[in-house]
Amino acid sequence: MYKDIATPARTRAILDKYGFSFKKSLGQNFLIDTNILRNIVDHAQLTEESGAIEVGPGIGALTEQLAKRSKKVVAYEIDQRLLPILKETLEPYPHAKIIHQDILKANVKEMLDTEFSDIRDVMLVANLPYYVTTPIIMKILEEKLPLRGIVVMLQKEVAERISAKPGTKEYGSLSIAIQYYTKPEVVMIVPKTVFVPQPNVDSAVIRLTIRETPSVVVINEDFFFQVTRASFAQRRKTILNNLSSQLERGKEKKADIIEALNQANIEPSRRGESLSIEEFAKLSDALYEKFS
C-alpha cells in the first residue's frame, strides 16, 4: 500500500525533496490530516462510477483520496512548481489527470465533454484557495455545468454567509446567489491546526447540492442579481435608499421603485437582510417591468 500523502511527515518530506516554498499570493495551505480528507470525500458521496473535479490539488493529498473512490479525477493546478510533485505523488493513480490552468479562465464545459463523456455523476470537490473561493463557485454555478453538486472547504465565515437565513447578519447577496442555484449545508468545521502553513482562521466544508430548477422563477436572472446586490450595498440603509442609489437611473425612478415595492408587498423602510429570496424574486420582477 502507498503511504498517504496527507501526513505531517510525508508532506514535509515531499516539500523538502522539491525545495518547495509556499506562495502566499496563491493562498496555499496544505492539509495534513488524512481523516479530514476522507471525511470530505465521504460528504461528496462518490461511487466507482463517479467523476470528480478538483481545484488547487497542491501536492495531491485530496486528489489521492478522490482517486481511491472514483472512476476519474481531473484537477486544475495553477502553480507550475507543483506539476513535477503531482506527477510523482499521483503516479499510482493513472485515472487522475492534472490540467495546468487557472480554472477561472478554463472552459470547464469542454473539459467535461471530453474527460467525463462516459460519466454521468460528477462532483466538484476541493480545498479552495480562500482568495478565489466565491468567483470559482459562482463560475461553476453560472455556467450551469452538469454537476450533481459541490463539496468545498473554505473560510468558515464564507460558509456561514453562503448558508445564512434571512434576518441574520451573515445573510446577503452571496447567500441569495448560491441558494438560488443550490441547497447549501455546512457539513464540517475544520480547525486551522491541520494545515501547513496554518491559516489565520478556521475553515468549514460546505456541500452545495445543485437544484434541478432555481429556487425561484424570475423574469430576468441578471436583473434579479443586480437587485439583490443593490439591496445589500449599504446594510444600514433601507431597501428603498439602496435601490435608489445603486440601480442605474434609480434616483430618477424613485417613484417607480416605491410602486414596485408596494406591488411586491414590501415596506420601503425594510432592510435587504429581512427579505426572503421569494420576496426578492417578486420585487425584481416588479422592478424589471419599470426599468426595462
**Which parts are annotated binding residues for S-adenosyl-L-methionine?**
29, 31, 56, 77, 102, 127
* b/e code 74-106 from CB counts within 10 Å (16+ = b): bbbbbbeebeebbeebbeebeebebbeeebeee
* b/e code 236-269 from CB counts within 10 Å (16+ = b): ebbbbbbbbebbeebeebbebbeebbeebebebe
Longest dimension (CA), the chain: 71
For the chain, what is the radius of gyration of the CA atoms? 21
User: Which amino acid does the sequence have at 253?
Assistant: K
Helix (H, G, I), strand (E, B) or coil at 37: helix
Residues in binding site: 29, 31, 56, 77, 102, 127
Phi and psi at residue 6, to the nearest 5°:
-85, 45
